[in-house]
Amino acid sequence: MSERTEIQAWTLEYLKAHNILYERRNTGRRGGVSFGKPGYPDIFAVFKGHHIEIECKVPKGGLSEGQKVARAEILNSGASYLLAKTPDDVTGFFAVLLGYL
């Protein structure tokens, strides 16, 4: 399992364990047909009525230009964006969000 797959799996397990509504997304192209919106995050979640987009990356990974555009669109819409590189990123984000809501 790759590092990226590991953080993604850990994040999905965290969301499931905390009864946070989520959906795993895929984007790409198969058989000449595009699906998903390029640059959009791996996971869509709703926590206490708050829309969150989660992009999982390896610790040294950065966002592509398309992902930076998507992040700006998401943040400008009023939703939250989490760049998850470690389990601490995920737990810390939800701890702060819980205190905020």
Mean pLDDT for 38-52 is: 94
Q: Are 4 and 57 in contact (CB under 8 A)?
A: yes
The CATH number covering residue 25 comes to 3.40.1350.10
**Who has greater pLDDT, 3 or 74?**
74
Digit-coded pLDDT (tens) for 71-93? 999 999 999 999 999 999 999 99
- Structural tokens at position 46: 């709703």
The proportion of the chain whose per-residue pLDDT surpasses 90, expressed as a percent, equals 73
| Secondary structure of the chain in HEC code, one letter for each residue | CCHHHHHHHHHHHHHHHCCCEEEECCCEEECCEEECCCCCCCEEEEECCEEEEEEECCCCCCCCHHHHHHHHHHHHCCCEEEEECCHHHHHHHHHHHHHHC
The proportion of the chain whose per-residue pLDDT surpasses 70, expressed as a percent, equals 97
Residues of the domain holding 42: 3-100
How many domains would you assign to the chain? 1
